[in-house]
């Protein structure tokens, strides 16, 4: 399997893992529309089409993340950085939320 993306942790993610994360984003955007940015289309996980979201300050992103933790949603899927949260149609949404591995879940707890 070709390796295509070097993750921020220094690990190499395979092409298949990237496809899986894109498919997860597509599904979760439908299951939790109040929390996650909509994914308009996903081409077999090879590419997702999402709307552009506006930047939000770090404090606002942290508050949103804390609200997610109190809800019944999969908050641990959201990358723990301000740029993973954005404003779409006057509401905050998670933008980068396809991470599903056990290692990533444990780092966010």
DSSP summary character for residue 83:
G
Residues 6+ apart with CB under 8 A from 60: 85, 92
pLDDT for the residue 92: 94
Residues of the chain with pLDDT under 50: 1-10, 102-103, 105, 107-109
Q: Which residues pair with 87 in a beta bridge?
A: 54, 92
- Specify whether the CB–CB gap between 49 and 40 falls below 8 A: yes
| Residue 79: count of CB within 10 angstroms of its CB | 17
Q: What is the pTM of this model?
A: 0.72
pLDDT for the residue 88: 93
How far is 28 from 35, CA to CA, in rounded Å?
9
């Amino acid at each position: 399997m070709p390796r295509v993306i070097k993750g921020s942790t220094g690990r190499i993610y395979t092409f298949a893992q990237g496809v899986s994360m894109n498919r997860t984003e597509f599904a979760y955007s439908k299951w939790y529309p109040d929390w996650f940015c909509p994914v308009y289309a996903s081409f077999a996980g090879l590419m997702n089409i999402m709307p552009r979201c506006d930047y939000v300050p770090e404090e606002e992103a942290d508050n949103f993340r804390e609200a997610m933790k109190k809800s019944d949603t999969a908050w641990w899927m959201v990358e723990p950085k301000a740029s993973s949260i954005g404003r779409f149609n006057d509401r905050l949404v998670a933008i980068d939320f396809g991470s599903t591995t056990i290692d990533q879940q444990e780092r966010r707890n």
